[in-house]
Amino acid sequence: MKLGLQSSIYNGLQLKDEINTALGQKVNAFDIFFDNWFPSDIPEETYGLLSNLKNSNDFHFTIHLPINFFELSYSEQQSFYSFIEFLKPKTITVHYNTLSYDLLKDLVNIAFDNGAQLSVENTIPNTHKIYGIDYLAYMIEAKKSLEYTESKQAFSATVDTGHSFVNGISPDYYVRELSKHEISIATVHLHDNDGSADLHQPLGAGKIDFYSFFKELKEKNQNPYLIIEHWSDFNRSIDFMYNISIT
């Protein structure tokens, strides 16, 4: 099982403290979410920690690009590309609803060149801001648009369980549909809610059927990085994952 925690700007911790916390838990991955901040904000000391860990076989990094990545300047976007080149994360998550097919192509190339998966995430609302289509329709179109590129194997999905449920879609549906279209799920964002709002609760606190979800992932041979996307009570989600004992 590839299970990880994610950085958060709301927990009052520095990135290095978050990573050190993760190293003390039963997880083997860490997702750096650039939630309104930049690689240039990372202190030198933390770069040292990242350098020490980045080639580890037992601990992997994934990253989550800023939600407004599409509207950043060229040089700001380049700073993320340099960071990707430095860290060599396993997956790079970007939200689907603002992603043009052109920017997608660029990002898939960057991922491919760095041995990563560009992992495109479902959002709330489930409508693309440029194309007006839903997540699944976008993913199918996106796959087609990459058909004749060398880098197409670096295109994959991030299924966010909480976003899916708020949109009235059971996350196991995405596993079935993406698998049917031969789109690999490289990343999963794990958090729960009751369907009313994106509450980012621990697994089991809300109404999402995680048993069906993990059963479906296993049946479809999808083996994503499972990123626990909430900081408070993250232990509850780690325990939940070990209790349902998927491997």
> Minimal distance in Å, beta carbon 189 to Zn ion?
3
> Minimal distance in Å, beta carbon 48 to Zn ion?
28
Give Cβ neighbours of residue 41 (< 8 Å, ≥ 6 apart).
none
- Neighbour-count burial of 21, counting CB atoms closer than 10 A to its CB (0-12 exposed, 13-18 middle, 19+ buried): middle
Contact segment (CB under 5 A) with Zn ion among 25-33, 131-139, 152-160, 208-216 equals 152-160
Contact segment (CB under 5 A) with Zn ion among 73-81, 155-163, 176-184, 233-241 equals 155-163
192 binds Zn ion (CB under 5 A): no
Residue 32: which of 42, 45, 23, 24 has the closest Cα?
Answer: 42
Question: Given the complex with Zn ion, which of 135 and 145 has the nearer CB atom?
Answer: 135
Contact segment (CB under 5 A) with Zn ion among 32-40, 69-77, 100-108, 154-162 equals 154-162
CA distance 128 to 132: 5
Question: Given the complex with Zn ion, which of 8 and 151 has the nearer CB atom?
Answer: 8
Among 89, 108, 118, 160, contact with Zn ion (rule: CB under 5 A): 160
By Cβ distance, which residue is nearest to Zn ion?
A: 189
- What is residue 237's three-state secondary structure? helix
Size of the site for Zn ion (CB under 5 A): 2
Question: Given the complex with Zn ion, which of 90 and 189 has the nearer CB atom?
Answer: 189
> Minimal distance in Å, beta carbon 121 to Zn ion?
6
Determine contact, residues 183/155, Cβ cutoff 8 Å. Answer: yes
> Minimal distance in Å, beta carbon 122 to Zn ion?
8
- Neighbour-count burial of 52, counting CB atoms closer than 10 A to its CB (0-12 exposed, 13-18 middle, 19+ buried): exposed
95 binds Zn ion (CB under 5 A): no
CA distance 31 to 173: 24
Q: Tell me which H or E stretch contains 63.
A: strand 60-64
> Minimal distance in Å, beta carbon 229 to Zn ion?
5
Determine contact, residues 123/158, Cβ cutoff 8 Å. Answer: no
> Minimal distance in Å, beta carbon 45 to Zn ion?
28
189 binds Zn ion (CB under 5 A): yes
Question: Given the complex with Zn ion, which of 120 and 142 has the nearer CB atom?
Answer: 120
Is the dihedral angle over the CA atoms 204, 201, 163, 168 positive or is it negative? positive
Question: Given the complex with Zn ion, which of 35 and 150 has the nearer CB atom?
Answer: 35
Give Cβ neighbours of residue 51 (< 8 Å, ≥ 6 apart).
none
Contacting positions for Zn ion (CB under 5 A): 160, 189
